[in-house]
Structure 1
């Protein structure tokens, strides 16, 4: 059981790190900027309206665009891996309880 749980946690962590850049690109956060008509463009519009016409530096849209353009930093990669590992652990726990 321990090996299955460990494997599921590792798979969740690695999978999250691999999928994160793909998901950012699919949402419209690209290296060339925010893609027109995408989810990212809609998020940017909502953020701009909420902030009186501008997108706040350090906000969610700005951080996601930065990651989409430059890739994930070491700290972000660690956070994504941690979240993926936690989801793997939960999946393992659910499977074990079933």
Structure 2
């Protein structure tokens, strides 16, 4: 792997793990619960309607709220970091292209 790809992959992984909690909070998945009028509340409403009035345990909304309330565990950080690393590696193609 060339140095640009190594750096971009590492930066992508670190940035994704660092930014994920802020993105969840901005979407409305907060430590105090789902914020009224937020993207999270819209997702919760749609999920509840689709499942007869409740949010199913293990659903995307339930998992995101859990992470928003309690933080991301090691497995979650690894998954988010892997996605960030993949995006960073893909973005490094800019370094490797010639015009």
1:35-46 to structure 2, matched below 5 A, reads 35-46=35-46
Q: Any gaps of 5 or more consecutive residues in structure 2?
A: none
Instruction: Report the TM-score when normalising by structure 2.
Output: 0.95
Q: Secondary structure of 1:58's partner?
A: coil
The match for 2:19 is 19
Deviation at 1:93, TM superposition (A): 1.8
Tell me which stretches of 4 or more aligned residues in structure 1 moved more than 3 Å.
Answer: none
Partner of 2:91: 91
Aligned to 1:78: 78
Q: Compute the RMSD of aligned alpha carbons.
A: 1.2
Q: Which runs of 5+ in 1 are unaligned?
A: none
TM-score where L is the length of structure 1:
0.96
1:42 deviates by 0.2
Residue by residue, what CA displacement relative to the aligned partner does 1:47-68 show, whole Å, maximum 9, x if unpaired? 0000000001000000000000
- Provide the aligned length of Structure 1 versus Structure 2: 98
